[in-house]
Amino acid sequence: MSQPASATTWPELSADSWTDTRNSLHMWTQIVGKTRLALSPMLNHWWQVPLYVTARGLSTGSMPYASGICEIVFDFVGHCLRLHTSDGKTHEMALQPRSVADFYQRYRTLLDQAGVAAKIWPVPVEVPDATPFPDNHQPGAYDRDAVQRFWQVLVQADKLLNEFRSHFTGKVSPVHFFWGSFDLAVTRFSGRPAPPHPGGVPHLADWVTRESYSAEQSAAGWWPGGNGAEAAFYSYAYPGLPELGQAKVQPVQAFFDADKGEFFLPYEAVRTGTDPSRLVRDFLQSTYSAAADLAHWDRAALERL
Q: Do residues 112 and 198 share a domain? A: no
Q: Do residues 191 and 161 share a domain? A: yes
**How would residue 5 be classed by pLDDT, with cut points 50, 70 and 90?**
very low
Cα–Cα distance for residue pair 129/16, rounded to 1 Å: 19
Residue 103 lies in a domain: yes
| Average pLDDT across the chain, whole number | 95
Q: Do residues 276 and 186 share a domain? A: yes
pLDDT for 152 beyond 70: yes
Residue 13 lies in a domain: no
- What is the predicted pLDDT for the residue at 67? 84
Instruction: Determine the longest span between alpha carbons in the chain, in angstroms.
Output: 56
Residue 7 lies in a domain: no
Predicted confidence (pLDDT) per residue in 244-271, tens digit: 999 999 999 999 999 999 999 999 999 9
Cα–Cα distance for residue pair 161/152, rounded to 1 Å: 14
Choosing from 85, 117, 135, the residue where a domain stops is 135
Give the range among 2-6, 180-184, 216-220 with minimum mean pLDDT: 2-6
Residue 216 lies in a domain: yes
Residue 2 lies in a domain: no
What is the mean pLDDT of the segment spanning 276-283?
Answer: 98
Percentage of the chain beyond pLDDT 70 is: 97
Q: What is the tally of structural domains in the chain?
A: 2
- What is the predicted pLDDT for the residue at 8? 64
Pairing of strands 57-59, 63-65: unpaired
Give the long-range contacts of residues 168-176, CB within 8 A, separation 24 or more. Answer: 168/302, 168/303, 168/304, 169/301, 169/302, 169/303, 169/304, 170/301, 170/302, 170/303, 171/215, 173/45, 173/47, 174/47, 174/50, 174/52, 175/52, 175/53, 176/47, 176/50, 176/51, 176/52
Question: How many other CB atoms are found less than 10 A from the CB of residue 298?
Answer: 12
Yes or no: say if 161 and 235 are a contact pair by the CB < 8 Å rule: no
What is the mean pLDDT of the segment spanning 4-30?
Answer: 88
Residue 170 lies in a domain: yes
Q: Do residues 157 and 298 share a domain? A: yes
pLDDT for 9 beyond 90: no
The angle at the Cα of 292, spanning 288 to 298, to the nearest 5 degrees, equals 130
Predicted confidence (pLDDT) per residue in 162-171, tens digit: 999 999 999 9
More confident residue, 3 or 24: 24
Residue 200 lies in a domain: yes
Q: Do residues 185 and 101 share a domain? A: no
Q: Do residues 237 and 151 share a domain? A: yes
Give the DSSP H or E segment for 188: strand 183-193
Q: Do residues 100 and 24 share a domain? A: yes
- What is the predicted pLDDT for the residue at 3? 45
pLDDT for 305 beyond 80: no
**How would residue 182 be classed by pLDDT, with cut points 50, 70 and 90?**
very high
Percentage of the chain beyond pLDDT 90 is: 95
Choosing from 135, 154, 175, the residue where a domain stops is 135
Domain that holds residue 61: 19-135
Measured over the CA atoms of residue 209, residue 132, residue 28 and residue 116, the dihedral's sign is positive
Cα–Cα distance for residue pair 40/35, rounded to 1 Å: 8
Q: Do residues 45 and 182 share a domain? A: no
